[in-house]
Structures are given as structure tokens and as C-alpha cells.
């Protein structure tokens, strides 16, 4: 039972839920445009995305386990899962999980090619998604230690996954995609920065060059807050260019999460004792709420 609970922690189920939400958002846009949904293709595409997420989680845990052991500010969403190490799951088991998922992903890719037919945009997204996810933690690139991993992940999660889901149903791109996903990408970037703050000291100690380490914590506060505000400004701008009123209104309902996030950052920047659990939890909930509300608006519109 203990090993089962550790494995549950290892897969980071809340992050998997995020993948379900952004994928549903892409299909929701297709549904809003009157496209009849192919549920078999929906499930196959979602299986591919979720398996890729699991590969990323396992590889990240394997390559970061030594550094994560030195982190004393671990939260539910930062500093690794805490499931790997002495007395817990061994690293070699995590590597085996990763290799198993990569094998499943390869099988799903073959199945996707057989089912999707001529879908060059979908295959391009799959290729970019795999490269970005695989090299997020894996040497020699290790994007997470280059300062580019956060931006790559935000583009992958908030833009490419919804676009992939949409293209599988519609067969082409549409202007509603950037109107919806660009604000989401800015919020996701802010979430990534917030999640890195508890790890800042450990990352400095181990020489892990995350985006936050590269730009410094003072600039991190600024970029985080600007990204949050940019997300909602883009929603307003997208509305003026044709984003449905119901979607824009649904997105703006999540503004309190964004403002709370900015307020928490201001307090920390002003010297207040940080609540890392609260900061990271609100960041994840805010992103999830934004994705959910927009998806809900499209599906019910």
C-alpha cells in the first residue's frame, strides 16, 4: 500500500488533470464551431497526451532526484514528488516506468498515424511536443536547466495541446485558438515561475539554471506579475477581435485568483514570510480554473 501511494504521488495527478483540461478546451472550440466530435479520436489523442505527460514526470523525477533531495521547501507542486529516494521508490524503478511509458507512447503514435490519416499539422505538433517534453529533463539539452524550459512547457501545455486536440477534430487551425490559448500560456508561465520560488535556494546551491535563477528573484516577481496581468489583458483584447462574449466573461471570472497571486507576490517581495504551499496551490488552481472556465464556456456555448 505504501508503494502504491508513492506511485500515486509520483505521477502528479493534478498535473495530469491539467492535461485533460487543456485538451478538452481544444475539442470544446471545435464543438463550438459546429464540428461533430469523433470520440474515438478524442480518446486516442488524450491517451497520447497523458502518456507523454507521464513520460515527462518519470524522466524529470529520475534525473532530478539527487537535487530534489537537497530541497527543504518542497510543496505539493514543486521540489519533485518526494516519492523517490532512500526508503521510497528507487531511481531505477522510476527509469523503468519512464521506459515503459515511452514504449506505450511509441505504440500509440503508430496507432495515431493509422487512425488520423493525412494530418500534417497534428504530426508536427506531436513531434514538437515529444521533443519539448523529452528534453525537458534529459541531457544534453535539459531545457529545465537552461532557462528556456518554462517557456517551452507553457507553449506545449497551453498552446500546442489544445491545438492538437482541435486539429484532430477539425483538420485545420482557426483564429479562436490563439485568442484562447495565448492568455492561457501567459498564466501558465506565471504559474511555472511561482512554482520555482520555493526551489530557488536549492536551485542556486546545485547550479540548476532555471528561468528564475537566470533572471534573479527580483525580476522573477516582476515577470510573474506582468504575465498574470498580460493574460487578462489578452482576454480583453481577444474579445475585441471576436472571442465569444461567454468565453471572455468566463475567463474574467477567474481574475480573483490572478489578483490574489499578484498580491501574494507583492507581500513576499516586501519581506513578508512566504507561504509556499499557499502560493503554489493558488497558482495551480488559478491556471486550472482559467482553462476549465473557458472550456466550459465553449462546450456549453
Radius of gyration (C-alpha) of the chain in whole angstroms: 19
Fold of 2-300: Farnesyl Diphosphate Synthase (1.10.600)
CA 198/CA 70 separation, integer angstroms: 12
Provide the whole-model pTM.
Answer: 0.94
Query: What was the pLDDT predicted at 1?
Result: 58
Q: Give average pLDDT by consecutive 10-residue segment, the chain, 301 residues.
A: 81 91 98 96 97 94 78 72 79 93 97 91 96 93 89 97 97 96 98 93 85 93 96 97 97 97 93 91 96 98 85
Helix (H, G, I), strand (E, B) or coil at 89: strand
Helix (H, G, I), strand (E, B) or coil at 121: helix
Helix (H, G, I), strand (E, B) or coil at 137: coil
> What are 84's strand-pairing partners?
89
Task: Please provide the distance, in angstroms rounded to a whole number, between the alpha carbons at the two ends of the chain.
Answer: 44
Amino acid at each position: 500500500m505504501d508503494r502504491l501511494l508513492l506511485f500515486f504521488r509520483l505521477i502528479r495527478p493534478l498535473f495530469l488533470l491539467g492535461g485533460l483540461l487543456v485538451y478538452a478546451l481544444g475539442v470544446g472550440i471545435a464543438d463550438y464551431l459546429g464540428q461533430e466530435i469523433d470520440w474515438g479520436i478524442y480518446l486516442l489523442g488524450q491517451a497520447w497526451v497523458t502518456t507523454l505527460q507521464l513520460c515527462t514526470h518519470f524522466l524529470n523525477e529520475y534525473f532530478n532526484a539527487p537535487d530534489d533531495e537537497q530541497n527543504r521547501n518542497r510543496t505539493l507542486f514543486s521540489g519533485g514528488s518526494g516519492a523517490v529516494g532512500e526508503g521510497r521508490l528507487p531511481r531505477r524503478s522510476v527509469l523503468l516506468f519512464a521506459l515503459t511509458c515511452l514504449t506505450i507512447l511509441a505504440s500509440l503514435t503508430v496507432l495515431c498515424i493509422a487512425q488520423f490519416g493525412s494530418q500534417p499539422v497534428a504530426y508536427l505538433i506531436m513531434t514538437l511536443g515529444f521533443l519539448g517534453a523529452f528534453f525537458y529533463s534529459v541531457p544534453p539539452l535539459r531545457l529545465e536547466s537552461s532557462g528556456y524550459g518554462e517557456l517551452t512547457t507553457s507553449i506545449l501545455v497551453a498552446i500546442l495541446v489544445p491545438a492538437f486536440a482541435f486539429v484532430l477534430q477539425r483538420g485545420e487551425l482557426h483564429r479562436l485558438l490563439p485568442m484562447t490559448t495565448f492568455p492561457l500560456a501567459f498564466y501558465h508561465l506565471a504559474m511555472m515561475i511561482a512554482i520555482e520560488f520555493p526551489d530557488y535556494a536549492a536551485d542556486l546551491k546545485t547550479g540548476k539554471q532555471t528561468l528564475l535563477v537566470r533572471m534573479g528573484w527580483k525580476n522573477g516577481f516582476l515577470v510573474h506579475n506582468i504575465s498574470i496581468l498580460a493574460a487578462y489583458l489578452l482576454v480583453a483584447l481577444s474579445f475585441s477581435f471576436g472571442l465569444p462574449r461567454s468565453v471572455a466573461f468566463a475567463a474574467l471570472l477567474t481574475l480573483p485568483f490572478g489578483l490574489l497571486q499578484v498580491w501574494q507576490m507583492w507581500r513576499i517581495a516586501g519581506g513578508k514570510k512566504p507561504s509556499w504551499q499557499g502560493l503554489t496551490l493558488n497558482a495551480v488552481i488559478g491556471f486550472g480554473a482559467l482553462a476549465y472556465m473557458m472550456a466550459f464556456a465553449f462546450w456549453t456555448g
